[in-house]
Chain A
Amino acid sequence: MLDAALLAMTWRVMRRRLVSSPLAAVACLAFPAFLIWAVVGHSYGTAAKFFFFLLPHVFLFAAQDAVRSDIESGALETVLFIGGRFRGYLGAKLFIIAIAAGAYAAGLFGLFAAWGLAVGGYEPAFALRFALALLAGLYYLALAGALSHFLRAGSNVLVLILAQAAAVFGLLATAASRPGLIDYAASGRFPGPGPKLLFGALTAVLPNVIVSGRISIFTGEIAAGLGLALYAQWRLLRRLEIGK
């Protein structure tokens, strides 16, 4: 259970950090700027594809300093966190990051949808794709949060991005000579368990692929992965000690 007093305190810490971080401001503005460029330079449809595919990464980048950086800074060894309250703070922090990234994503989706309605490019399926992007984003947050128990700020995100880069190169290699994973994923039909398992592994490191909404079994995989990563987080937080 989240402690309401800790939530309020965590929110004050996170809000201050976000407001005074130039990097966060640049990151928050870069994504909409890219979308505007895509709409103006190409089309609303192209921008929509980029929007939904890239939206989960908002959560990934938001999770970069979830745990380890706070522990190593020594800031948790103060009067505010005695009696094990640091565990509650770190749990609340993850919750606040999810809410903040979700609010940013929802705001951006609202503006993007309004633009789509104005130019006649909005489709009803966008709402489902937005929900799937949120699911993929929360999965990223839980996974990167769990990794940040072991890896320093930024390294947890970097590990996932490197894994994604390797997976994408592998994916492109399968598409070169014969029908590959991209074709199977596009059609939503896989010829056997082998390609399915391979695509499942790809989905685990690049959950953005579920936003198409055509491959429901992998959406289930990400939902299960989210549950598993949250459980891992809960176990890690319960065992966490400060000042070893």
Chain B
Amino acid sequence: MIEARKLAKRFGRIEAVRDVSFTTKRGTITAMIGENGAGKTTTLKLVLGFLRPDSGTVAVAPGRTGYVPDRPAYFARLDGWSILGLARPHRGRRGPGNGRGHSASVLAAARSLLFDPVLLRRLPASYSAGNAKKFSYLQNLLIEPDLLVVDEPFSALDPPSIKCVRDVFCGLRADGKTVLLSSHMLAEMEKIADGFVVLRRGQTIAHAGLREWRLLRSARPGPDLESVFLRLAGL
């Protein structure tokens, strides 16, 4: 689904990413973990096309791609309904995403995320950080992505919302969709991820698929992700 090879990106004198390679498979959840400044967000932005790599390549399989940023921001002066409507075909055209069907799917998706639909009449700039994040999930679920990329998936969310979002990821995986997460919440990642990409100082230092991770977990005493990460990072 995603194949990144030897990605490098520099911002002036800062080398944000210097050798990142990984692959993700269809129907899996991959967690990208690393310290602050390890290059996770830059790597996500290279995958999504917001940045261009200085060298290396990234290939994403054809299909709809979704993205939930760490701190989502939205156009000023547009309320929630208007922003959700931006991804839809023009009002004049008939299609499955139009009219009452669209409203019903918005409400269903909002319910699944514990997002209060009343908020859609307000400007997203007035939302709390948690609701802004949930609104971003809502926006993404409506496009039915084949690949969902999420930066800090659980930041600003309360425990019930974390559970809902976790269920959303598992639901996507069950439907054969691919999820790429970048997070510091190792315990949460361990619960849901099938594979891990560990970054340190702009480099991939480990890339474990489901099979390797299961082997690692079957060892006695089974190390948790936190101890594996700390050992890899030399901390």
Contacts and interface: CB of A to CB of B under 8 A. Distances in A.
Interface of A: 5, 8-9, 12-13, 16-17, 20-21, 70, 73-75, 77-84, 86, 241-244
Contact of A12 (B41, B67, B85, B145): B85
B77 A21 contact: yes
Contacts of A13: 75, 78, 86
A79 B90 contact: no
Contact of A75 (B68, B75, B90): B75
B67 to A, nearest CB: 5
Interface residues of B, number: 32
B51 A77 contact: no
A241 B10 CA distance: 12
Contact of B139 (A16, A21, A70, A79): A79
B77 A73 contact: no
B73 A244 contact: no
Contact of B45 (A5, A16, A70, A243): A243
A16 B77 contact: yes
Contacts of B72: 74, 78
A73 B76 CA distance: 9
Among B45, B49, B69, B85, chain A packs the most CB atoms within 10 A around the CB of B49
B87 interface: yes
A243 B51 contact: yes
Given A8-B90, A21-B77, A242-B50, A79 B45 contact: no
A44 to B, nearest CB: 38
A149 B72 CA distance: 22
Contacts of A70: 75
B140 interface: yes
Given A12-B86, A16-B82, A77 B50 contact: yes
17 contacts: A12-B82, A16-B75, A17-B76, A21-B77, A70-B75, A74-B69, A75-B73, A77-B69, A77-B73, A79-B65, A79-B87, A80-B86, A84-B50, A86-B50, A242-B45, A243-B41, A244-B51
Contacts of A83: 48-49, 65
A79 B77 contact: no
B75 to A, nearest CB: 5
Interface in B78-126: 78, 82, 85-87, 89-90
